[in-house]
Amino acid sequence: MTAIRDAAVRPAAAPEKAVVLSVRNLESYYGPIMAIRGCSLEVREGQIVTVLGANGAGKTTLMKTISGVMDPEKGQIMYGGENIAGAAPDKVVRKGIVHVPEGREVFPLLTVEENLRMGAFVRNDADGVRKDEEMVFSYFPILAERRRQAAGTLSGGQQQMLAIGRGLMARPKLMLLDEPSLGLSPLLVKEIFQIIRRLNREQGVTMMLVEQNAKVALEVADYGYVMELGRIVMADDAKRLLQSKDIQEFYLGVQSEESQRGQKRWKQKKTWR
Q: Is 262 domain-assigned?
A: no
Q: Is 47 domain-assigned?
A: yes
Give the pLDDT confidence of 209-256 residue by residue, as tens digits. Answer: 998 888 999 999 999 999 999 999 999 999 999 988 888 887 766 555
| Number of independent structural domains in the chain | 1
Q: Is 154 domain-assigned?
A: no
Compute the distance between CA of residue 115 and CA of residue 46 in angstroms, rounded to an integer. 26
Give the pLDDT confidence of 26-76 residue by residue, as tens digits. Answer: 999 988 999 999 999 999 999 999 999 888 899 999 999 999 999 999 999
Q: Is 13 domain-assigned?
A: no
Q: What percent of the chain has pLDDT over 70?
A: 86
Q: Tell me the helix, strand and coil percentages in the chain, rounded to 5.
A: 40, 25, 40
Looking at the DSSP assignment, which residues form a beta bridge with residue 22?
A: 42, 78
β 33-44/19-30 pair status: antiparallel
Q: Is 143 domain-assigned?
A: no
Q: Is 97 domain-assigned?
A: yes
Q: Using pLDDT thresholds of 50, 70 and 90, give the confidence band for residue 13.
A: very low
Q: Is 120 domain-assigned?
A: no
CATH of the domain at 209: 3.40.50.300
Q: Is 29 domain-assigned?
A: yes
Range of the domain at 237: 18-104+173-250
